[in-house]
């Protein structure tokens, strides 16, 4: 899916990052010289260095493009250490890159930063089948790890659309959330240890494989969600849960957003410990998917209901789980919470139901230049936010002209709303106007401008507003200066100038 | 239970911290003057300041005693800010104190640090019954919060013996683990936001109530487990899980430690998502409890089996949970994993079974001066560690003379072993000899010297060895110096000189 997205997007858009951030100036870093390339050739094998950097200069959605002249592919922690120590000494800027599936422009260069790509650093180092603790190189692909764990009866504690391309170190560096955070919690809880190369080349060994370890500051936490601005994550130790022997999925249609919330409360009551996902989307999302994707017939009779939810359970006994789910659906029907619903009878049906949720981003990207937002807030406000956005641009007469297909979907259980919209043609100003409306709405309602996508370059100009009065930015800057005094790690991202 | 422990312990031991750490010298802090007390009287009400400090100078187990002349009881974030800003300016050292139930001496003064006690700062600020997110003052007692949540259908995500006395800010500052970490995960995952007063009085507002919020470095994580050395936690926002409608407990006896591990693997298979605790203890633990506590008859026929485990489930449907547990027990019996077992039929029986685990620390303290250890490692090594310790001191001829009652128990699911032993009379050297053996054994076997109890003053001399070759201590020191350049926050603890 991810590669399809990439291909489609490339046809539509080719902006440069800098044109979106005209005030950005290249930092006072050294420009790459032949002597630098010569040095890297002494550290790396010939297949670990390239000056053909096109694929590494551009992000998945083709929204951000840099002009790096060099991409390096280390295969060991020591090689990463040699690279960063040299770059720090020479004052060469660096952008760490994993699967390059991020959506905030954090993993591509802004100017000519050297790309350090982790895709060749991808061994599974160890797995303990008693504790379920895996230790892996940073470049291991999420799905690769899941496939390794499957026959051992374990699974990865996070799941996201990009799992076939995204890498563990990238997941850690962006604090990836995904579809089952509701069940397994976030990476701050599931990452047990990290090995990190600090900007000066120091190898920080915090790669504990212990579930509990209270011996001083929990340093690894600093790097979870730091988007590569404090160092490069080279090794990860991860607590992996038992693979569920029973998975069930239901899709229900509802007449109002209030009913979605009722269905969520009821799911927590009826499904308790087996609830693994509660995803919602609106009718506009369905229309977009139907218009662009080859789908089977919509499985629920009310294909014009304003709201839908997909409820997934994962458990250890299928008979118990099915019974819980049946009682749940019966109570929803009895109390008129849902208009209609369908319960998948096999794996094929389950995948088919998930498609109606998972194809949404791909479908809207296929409609034209797409704006993607990822906010979190009190879930009671989700509908109000989508409605307000629609109404605001309608009143300005911009719907149909500048913007179209405003849709809302997301992770109810995590308080995480995705709003997407198309522009009729790519227009930086139109994007900025939409950004401003969405971000300010979220902030005015005590929400976050980034639930799980991170800041990258996309939202860096909103960090000041996001943190106003909180005293967070001065401390973030102090930490940045303490760990990366020369500022070589992923400059221009995350922290405003 | 906690207060009983305190009373009992006081009769036995009255050492001073300094006599245990003869090399420790008071830092170059200002000595408290009347002018300082006068200042604090302008900030605080008359019932918020005391010079009668005896109860605040000594820890729960009476192992550590300081000589503070002043204890302050702020009731607001602003008061904490005024206190710390003044102390930072005047270079007065501070020790934050919560319920004072810590076991590593982290919450009592070493010399004359001013005690800032949170017990009067204890309001529940907000609770959202849709998301289950609670926002509370740092001084709220854990059990008080649980009682507040109970009628709303939620519970706290951590549970420990000291819950009737320990405070949330203390739990956060020590990254408390407890009995149900296996189920709900650790505080790095469950704490959603913190309000912290930094050493210079700055109020850091990171009190997000959002489940997902990826906007820059996750600053709150720095303070989870920092043992009050980086600032004072004044507010906590916590994700609370649905209160289980069904709780079941079984106690089983086993003929070997290998069988304990088999029973654990089988519990993960059979009980999956409802498994909420897997606790083990050895026969010596039973003997100690029987000798000192008034207990009902031991519920399992094999009261002389070498090992026992208590398995608890929490779920949303009692019929399902009971069936899973019955199948689990049947399989254990059929495969000769257990010698005997008992399944609690009601709440009273459940509490009675838990007593055999929960009374262990209290019982051994009642036997005489008690040494307490809290290590984590590969669970396959638990028995070997207890056996090696016993054998080591037996060979030296010290069992019965210097040491007695060496017992092992703990949280199998978390890889967390508690070793306790009595000294026949309190003896600093004997304590140091035992410390050294236990800590070095754990480190030699890739374990941690502190799973959940923290470093405090007890283990600070082992931090260098614990972190050797890992490059962690220089970074910890940099962080300390960045946040607390004058070093006023809880000096002498956590970080070695």
B243 close to A (CB below 8 A): no
Q: Which chain A positions have a beta carbon within 8 Å of B411's beta carbon?
A: 212
Q: Which domains does chain A have, with CATH numbers?
A: 2-117 (3.30.43.10), 124-239 (3.30.465.10), 246-354 (3.30.70.2190), 368-454 (3.30.70.2740)
A242 close to B (CB below 8 A): yes
Listed in sequence order, the residues at least 6 apart from B66 whose beta carbon sits closer than 8 Å to its beta carbon are B17, B57, B58, B95, B108, B109, B110, B111, B112, B113
Name the band, by pLDDT with cuts 50, 70 and 90, for residue A1. Answer: very low
Judged by CB atoms closer than 8 Å, whether chains meet at A212 and B478 is answered as: no
Phi, psi (5° rounding) for residue B228? 70, 15
For residues A140 and A118, what is the distance between their CA atoms, to the nearest angstrom? 8
Structural element, H or E, at residue A263:
helix A257-271
| Torsion, CA A221, CA A226, CA A227, CA A230, rounded to 10 | -100
Structural element, H or E, at residue B165:
none
CB B418 within 8 A of CB B374: yes
Counting Cα atoms < 13 Å in the Cβ hemisphere of B311 gives: 29
Judged by CB atoms closer than 8 Å, whether chains meet at B210 and A483 is answered as: no
Q: Which chain B positions have a beta carbon within 8 Å of A212's beta carbon?
A: 177, 181, 186, 376, 411, 414-416, 448, 451-452
A146-160, A302-316, B11-25, B333-347: least confidently modelled range: B11-25
Residue of B184, B273, B453 best to disrupt the A interface, most CBs of A under 10 A: B273
The complex's ipTM? 0.95
- Chain A nearest-CA distance from B209, in A, is 9
Q: Which chain B positions have a beta carbon within 8 Å of A479's beta carbon?
A: 217, 479, 482
CB B197 within 8 A of CB B77: yes
Judged by CB atoms closer than 8 Å, whether chains meet at B472 and A216 is answered as: yes
For residues A106 and A64, what is the distance between their CA atoms, to the nearest angstrom? 9
The secondary structure of chain A in percent helix, strand, coil, rounded to multiples of 5, reads 40, 20, 40
Phi, psi (5° rounding) for residue A253? -110, 140
For residues A40 and B80, what is the distance between their CA atoms, to the nearest angstrom? 52
Q: Which chain B positions have a beta carbon within 8 Å of A214's beta carbon?
A: 174-175, 177, 225, 448, 450-455
Residue-wise pLDDT tens digits, A75-103: 999 999 999 999 999 999 999 999 999 99
Q: How many pairs of residues across A and B have Cβ atoms under 8 Å apart?
A: 264
- pLDDT for A12 beyond 90: no
For residues B128 and B97, what is the distance between their CA atoms, to the nearest angstrom? 28
Give the C-alpha distances (Å, rounded to integers) separating A190 from A171, A275, A432: 12, 18, 36
Walk along chain B (497 residues) and give the pLDDT tens digit of each residue. Answer: 223 333 333 333 344 444 456 678 999 999 999 999 999 999 999 999 999 999 999 988 778 899 999 999 999 999 999 999 999 999 999 999 999 999 999 999 999 999 999 999 999 999 999 999 999 999 999 999 999 999 999 999 999 989 999 999 999 999 999 888 999 999 999 999 999 999 999 999 999 999 999 999 999 999 999 999 999 999 999 999 999 999 999 999 999 999 999 999 999 999 999 999 999 999 999 999 999 999 999 999 888 899 999 999 999 999 999 999 999 999 999 999 999 999 999 999 999 999 999 999 999 989 988 999 999 999 999 999 999 999 999 999 999 999 999 999 999 999 999 999 999 888 889 999 999 999 999 999 999 999 999 999 999 999 999 999 999 999 999 999 999 999 999 999 999 98
For residues B103 and B96, what is the distance between their CA atoms, to the nearest angstrom? 15
Q: Which chain A positions have a beta carbon within 8 Å of B489's beta carbon?
A: none
Residue-wise pLDDT tens digits, A324-353: 999 999 999 999 999 999 999 999 999 999
CB B211 within 8 A of CB A448: no
């Amino acid at each position: 899916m991810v590669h399809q997205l990439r291909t489609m997007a490339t046809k539509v858009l080719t902006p440069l990052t800098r044109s979106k951030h005209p005030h950005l100036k290249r930092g006072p870093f050294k420009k790459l010289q032949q002597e630098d390339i010569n040095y890297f050739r002494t550290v790396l094998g010939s297949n670990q260095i390239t000056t053909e950097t096109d694929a590494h200069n551009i992000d998945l959605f083709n929204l951000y493009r840099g002009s790096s002249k060099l991409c390096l592919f280390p295969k060991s922690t020591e090689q990463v250490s040699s690279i960063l120590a040299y770059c720090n000494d020479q004052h060469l800027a660096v952008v760490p890159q994993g699967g390059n599936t991020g959506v905030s422009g954090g993993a591509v260069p802004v100017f000519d930063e050297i790309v350090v790509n982790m895709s060749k650093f991808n061994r599974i180092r160890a797995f303990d089948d008693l504790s379920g603790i895996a230790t892996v190189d940073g470049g291991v692909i999420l799905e690769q790890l899941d496939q390794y764990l499957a026959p051992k009866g374990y699974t990865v504690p996070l799941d996201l659309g990009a799992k076939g391309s995204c890498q563990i170190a990238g997941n850690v560096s962006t604090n990836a959330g995904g579809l089952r955070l509701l069940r397994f919690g976030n990476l701050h809880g599931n990452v047990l240890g990290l090995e990190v190369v600090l900007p000066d080349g120091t190898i920080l060994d915090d790669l504990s494989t212990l579930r509990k370890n209270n011996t001083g500051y929990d340093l690894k936490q600093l790097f979870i969600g730091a988007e590569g601005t404090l160092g490069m994550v080279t090794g990860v130790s991860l607590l992996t849960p038992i693979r569920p022997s029973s998975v069930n999925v239901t899709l229900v249609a509802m007449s109002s957003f209030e009913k979605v919330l009722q269905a969520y409360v009821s799911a927590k009551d009826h499904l308790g410990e087996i609830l693994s996902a509660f995803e919602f989307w609106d009718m506009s999302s369905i229309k977009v998917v139907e218009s662009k994707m080859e789908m089977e017939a919509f499985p629920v009779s009310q294909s014009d209901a304003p709201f839908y939810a997909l409820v997934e359970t994962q458990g250890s006994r299928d008979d118990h789980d099915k019974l819980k789910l049946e009682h749940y659906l019966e109570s929803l029907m009895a109390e008129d919470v849902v208009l209609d619903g369908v319960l998948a009878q096999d794996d094929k049906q389950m995948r088919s139901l998930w498609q109606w949720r998972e194809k949404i981003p791909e479908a809207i990207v296929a409609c034209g230049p797409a704006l993607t937002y990822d906010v979190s807030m009190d879930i009671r406000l989700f509908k109000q936010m989508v409605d307000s956005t629609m109404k605001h641009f309608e009143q300005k007469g911009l719907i149909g002209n500048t913007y179209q297909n405003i849709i809302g979907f997301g992770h109810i259980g995590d308080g995480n709303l995705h709003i997407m919209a198309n522009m009729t043609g790519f227009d930086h100003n139109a994007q900025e106007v939409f950004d401003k409306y969405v971000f300010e709405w979220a902030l005015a309602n005590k929400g976050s401008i980034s639930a799980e996508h991170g800041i990258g370059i996309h939202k860096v100009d909103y960090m000041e507003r996001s943190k106003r009065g909180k005293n967070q930015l001065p401390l973030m800057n102090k930490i940045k200066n303490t760990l990366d005094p020369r500022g070589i790690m992923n400059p221009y991202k995350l922290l405003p100038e």
